[in-house]
Structure 1
Amino acid sequence: MSTTTEEESASAVEASQEIPPSPEYRELARDMFEKITEYLNGELSATSEEYQLLHRLNQMTIAKYSDMTSLATRLNEVSESLNDKFVSLQPYCDQIDQVESSVSALEQTAYRLDAYCKRLEAKFKEFEKR
């Protein structure tokens, strides 16, 4: 007898599950699925926008590095040109240094000669007085 009651309760549960849901539950389920769909679409849209932003940032970075490469190349060319000019002017710089050294030596000689002339003049004046 207990087997039949268990079978009856099991068939009663099955029968209760077969009852179609009320329109209110259907509306709530439909609303729930719409909101889940909106949420997922929002998440996918945000992710897509983040990837688009990253793509734009990468493109800007590529452009900036390209500009920096171009600038570095031009600076290198200018540096090489200046170095070549310096090398070509180096003999003249060496000559200027030699002339400066000679002028300094000549200046020192002129000071010594001037001092000697003053001493000689003083001796001459002393000799004239006698």
Structure 2
Amino acid sequence: MSEEEVTWTGERRNKDLRTFPSCSSFDLLDPHDPVLSRLATQMFKRTNDYLQGEIATGQEHYDLLEEINRTVIIKYADLQSLAVNITKSLNESNEKYETEVKPLLEQIEDIHIELSALEATAFRLDSYTKQLLGRFIELLGIDNHSA
């Protein structure tokens, strides 16, 4: 067969295929190149391996996300429980402060105010005592410098 005949036959075959869209270009009875068949088989096998790997990777990512989600849910529940306990403890502490500590602090403040007033009174009394002593010495005529 010459090149023209091969070209014409190929064009004719392509033309025939185009006229019958339901026809496939693969015919079981046609002899095929064994190298081409081997390469096609390898291509399909490798494509299958690649797609299986992609699916497996996607599944692994999905499983990992599920595990992360479960862990986050557990941690969130733990944190929520911790927050509830902290709130409860804080409320108890505030209640104890209001009922036990605050009255004591108010008593301490009252004692401090009374002590300050007592101290001021003691200073005034001391000053008054010194004045009285000075007058008493003056009335008795005792000279401090002669002794």
> Same fold per TM (> 0.5)?
yes
Alpha-carbon displacement from aligned partner over 1:69-111 (angstroms, at most 9, x marks no partner): 1111111111111111112123333233222211111111111
Change (3 A) 1:20 1:114: same
Unaligned runs of 5+ in 1: 1-7
What is the aligned counterpart of 1:92 among 77, 80, 104? 104
**Shift in Å at residue 34 of structure 1?**
0.4
Task: Name structure 2 gaps, 5 residues minimum.
Answer: 1-7, 15-24
Residue 82 to residue 10, structure 1, CA distance change in 2 (3 Å) = closer
Look up the equivalent residue of 2:77 and give its one-letter code: S
Q: Where does residue 48 of structure 1 map in the other structure?
A: 59
Q: State the superposition RMSD in angstroms.
A: 2.5
Confirm whether residue 124 of structure 1 aligns to residue 136 of structure 2: yes
Matches within 5 A, 1:29-108: 29-89=40-100, 90-108=102-120
Q: TM-score, normalization: structure 2?
A: 0.71
**Percent identity over paired residues:** 34
Q: TM-score, normalised by structure 1?
A: 0.80
Structure ranking higher on relative contact order (CA contacts 8 Å, 6+ apart): 2
Cα drift, residue 115 of structure 1:
1.6
